[in-house]
Amino acid sequence: MIGPFVQDLPATRVVFGIGLLDQLSDEVKRIDGRRVMLIYGNHESAYAEQVESQLGYAIVARFTDVVMHVPASIAQTATELCRAADVDLLVALGGGSSTGLAKAIAKATGLPIIAIPTTYSGSEMTTLWGLTENSRKVTGRDARVLPRTVIYDPLLTLSLPQDLSAASGMNAIAHLVEGLYAPGISPVAMLQCEEGVRALAKALPRIAADPHDVDARTDALYGAWLAGWALGTTGIGVHHKICHVIGGAYDLPHAATHSAVLPYATAFNEPFAPGAMDAVVRALRSAGIDADSAGGGIWDLATSIGAPTSLRDAGFDPKNTQEAAELVVAANPVNPRPIELAGILELFISAYDGTRPVASTK
């Protein structure tokens, strides 16, 4: 049965295709950008040169001190630079960390963003922002941080190392899985989430076999776009809450943490969201993965592409388990399965152990 539902779609212009970074200057003109601040991390400097060659003198400021989880002090420094240079447009080139920094500046200044993603994080399609201060990551939603335009060019992902590609792809799948049971789900979002899981589950093993496979990179970026869009419009549950809490508190790598937690968070919710889990299993099967359950099938996919399936691999210290579980319970995420300490502790223990999950029967 369809609905009831509310669909609230924020508008982002999306330019998607191989080689379409060369449309950046047209996109900048389209929103009348004249004084650009270019934000990128060290590994994106080759692409930054392409941006510089297109935008030339329009770039009046550059910021390259991009750090995962957006430390508040760095956001403050970048915002001051932006104001001092009288910037009127932010161009964020890179993964979720570059986009996240641009969002922090946009939140403070109201400036528009053009995002050029080079990973599968999906941040470019959301109104979600995050800032970390005193080992606590605070997140929220603000329409001002949603990029005005996103340019998806699969060529910019060819250099993403295989381990990061696998983990980042699992991060995108996490958005899609949680989107399927989040409060903002709509009939269109259901189709989008299932299609996104299918696209990524088909693409990631091909990328693992050949990171320079442009077709596979294009399919994965397509799945990442659907995932970011789902994250932006549907919502999150216990899985994302765990990753945000432990990512900020213990400075863990974002994508690897998502990859490590997802099979277990999915199994935790499996009996409480049967429609969503059926969609995940269908998508995995149509991608050629012989999934007997959503959590188990996700674990199989992650294992086959060398993505982390244990919090140990993501650098989590088990001595923090009790504290982390208490932080998650205190955050009280909206989730199909009720959140209580014993269940969350069990989830952490399984995710640290890394054994293939079986769906919880509780």
Provide the binding-site residues for ligand NAD, judged by CB under 6 A. Answer: 41-44, 68-69, 94-98, 100, 118-119, 121-123, 126, 128-130, 156-157, 159-160, 164, 168, 171, 231, 254-255
Q: Do 126 and 232 touch, CB atoms closer than 8 A? A: yes
Q: Tell the smallest beta-carbon distance from residue 103 to ligand NAD (Å).
A: 7
| Distances from the Cα of 105 to the Cα of 92, 197, 215, 340, angstroms | 11, 32, 34, 36
Nearer to ligand NAD by C-beta: 67 or 345?
Answer: 67
Tokens found for residue 152: 């998806």
Nearer to ligand NAD by C-beta: 41 or 295?
Answer: 41
Q: Do 146 and 232 touch, CB atoms closer than 8 A? A: yes
Nearer to ligand NAD by C-beta: 130 or 296?
Answer: 130
CA 298 to CA 345: how far, in whole Å? 21
CA 282 to CA 328: how far, in whole Å? 30
Nearer to ligand NAD by C-beta: 186 or 257?
Answer: 257
Q: Tell the smallest beta-carbon distance from residue 129 to ligand NAD (Å).
A: 6
Beta bridge partners of 89: 36
Q: Tell the smallest beta-carbon distance from residue 66 to ligand NAD (Å).
A: 7
Nearer to ligand NAD by C-beta: 65 or 292?
Answer: 65
CA 131 to CA 151: how far, in whole Å? 24
Q: Tell the smallest beta-carbon distance from residue 288 to ligand NAD (Å).
A: 26
Amino acid at 146: L
CA 224 to CA 33: how far, in whole Å? 27
Nearer to ligand NAD by C-beta: 105 or 291?
Answer: 105
Nearer to ligand NAD by C-beta: 38 or 281?
Answer: 38
CA 105 to CA 86: how far, in whole Å? 13
Q: Tell the smallest beta-carbon distance from residue 91 to ligand NAD (Å).
A: 15
Nearer to ligand NAD by C-beta: 145 or 281?
Answer: 145
Q: Tell the smallest beta-carbon distance from residue 344 to ligand NAD (Å).
A: 20
CA 125 to CA 224: how far, in whole Å? 10
Q: Tell the smallest beta-carbon distance from residue 39 to ligand NAD (Å).
A: 11
Closest CA to 286 of 205, 216, 197: 197
Q: Tell the smallest beta-carbon distance from residue 355 to ligand NAD (Å).
A: 25
As a residue count, the chain comes to 362
Q: Do 172 and 192 touch, CB atoms closer than 8 A? A: no
CA 172 to CA 178: how far, in whole Å? 10
CA 237 to CA 341: how far, in whole Å? 16
